[in-house]
Amino acid sequence: MSHAPQIKIPATYMRGGTSKGVFFSLTDLPEAAQVPGAARDSILLRVIGSPDPYGQQIDGMGGATSSTSKTVILAKSEQADHDVDYLFGQVAINKAFVDWSGNCGNLTAAVGAFAISKGLVDADRIPENGICTVRIWQKNIQKTIIAHVPMTNGEVQETGDFELDGVTFPAAEVVIEFMDPADGEGSMFPTGNVVDDLEVPGIGTFKATMINAGIPTIFMNAADIGYTGTELQKDINSDADALARFETMRAYGAVKMGLIKDIAEAVERQHTPKIAFVAPATDYQASSGKQIASNDIDVCVRALSMGKLHHAMMGTASVAIATAAAVSGSLVNLAAGGVERDSVTFGHPSGTLRVGAAAALVDGEWTATKAVMSRSARVIMEGNVRVPGDTF
């Protein structure tokens, strides 16, 4: 019996923030995968190792978590005053599904470095030493992101002493600016309210702040759903009933936000919205064993991604947290003390993160102009990935 041989596709395996993903230049993909569709999705699924009923992604590059089941496709930008077009695909682990509905804020930190090294940024915009400003067009959400990438002797500077909770080793700092992070097609609060009553049949009715900034996110009070806001992954991810409740609440929240019409559609939209819960600043021990003091943070936040509690915090959800914290009366703002602020330091399972954001009430509508955070990134491996030639 004859079988199609494997094909090689140039790729780079990168860490960005607290995530890892496989990065591709659009023009390096097989021609059939250079446009959206089944061929592209099939290739990315096979690269990552999905669908895997064992939940391990053994036969691919994925790491069997939402943070490591990610793909990125980059191309020279077709947008004026931008350098690179960034398309993100979140690959499901046990289903044959790639979710294109949102951005990955963590991997954004690696986009600039990849774009520079692959010639997607014009040479006259790259300093020999200093900071290269990379103008990113995020295609999933149609937004501008600015990455400030350090350069040394004409090369991206990856090593450094910047420490990021959730990442073991220090690296060079990359400052990321999310411009106009709120949904440009509607209200930052799609229901028109800063706080809503979210009715979830069979579970209860809960106060919720549903915001479209960075990524659509549903915030709930930890105490209302039986938590403290200091939980680690082991406290939730081993509880199948709890995960099912969170998914049900997420589905009803998605309907209320207008993202889907029926809760049954939530299974095909796993990446968005996110669901998170907040609590006032409290002392706790992070997953690394590090002690987090309540006076070092403004608020505790935990968030779920692709059905599991995230080991740290998604970059896009961090934008949502900071933006909501800047809005008077939101659940995040109230949990953080209810004061006016232009930045917030929140505690997550791996430690802490500070994010700056500005929000203002304009003509009765809340709007956000920018959110800023520091991340780091580095190349882990580069070369080719291989997939069977009959994959697509």
In terms of pTM, does the model score above 0.85?
A: yes
The pLDDT tens digits of the residues spanning 103-115 come to 999 999 999 999 9
Tell me the domain boundaries of the chain.
Answer: 4-179+375-386, 194-348
Parallel, antiparallel, or unpaired for β 98-99 and 84-91?
antiparallel
Nearest CA-CA partner of 349 in 314, 315, 310: 310
What is the mean pLDDT of the segment spanning 185-212? 94
DSSP assignment of 242-287: HHHHHHHHHHHHHHHTTS-SSGGGGGG--SSSEEEEEEE---EE-T
Q: Which amino acid, one-letter code, is at 113?
A: A
Give the C-alpha separation, 309 to 312, whole Å: 9
Q: How far is CA 380 from the centre of its chain?
A: 19
In contact, 368 and 213? CB cutoff 8 Å: yes
What distances in angstroms separate CA 330 from CA 57, 160, 219, 373, one per listed residue? 39, 37, 9, 21
CATH architecture assigned to 194-348: Roll (3.10)
Same fold, 4-179+375-386 and 194-348: yes
- Where in the sequence numbering do the catalytic residues fall? 104, 314
Q: Which residue has the higher pLDDT, 185 or 321?
A: 321
Give tens-digit pLDDT for 24-77: 999 999 999 999 999 999 999 999 999 999 999 999 999 999 999 999 999 999
* Lookup result for tokens 């659509």: 216
Looking at residue 183, what is its pLDDT?
66
1 pLDDT band, cuts 50/70/90, is low
For position 186, what pLDDT does the model report? 61
| pLDDT tens for each residue of 7-34 | 999 999 999 999 999 999 999 999 999 9
* Contact predicate 229/282, CB 8 Å: yes
Amino acid at 351: G
DSSP 136-156: EEETTTTEEEEEEEEEETTEE
CATH fold for the domain made of 4-179+375-386? Diaminopimelate Epimerase; Chain A, domain 1 (3.10.310)
pLDDT of amino acid 139: 97
Beta bridge partners, 359, equal: 368
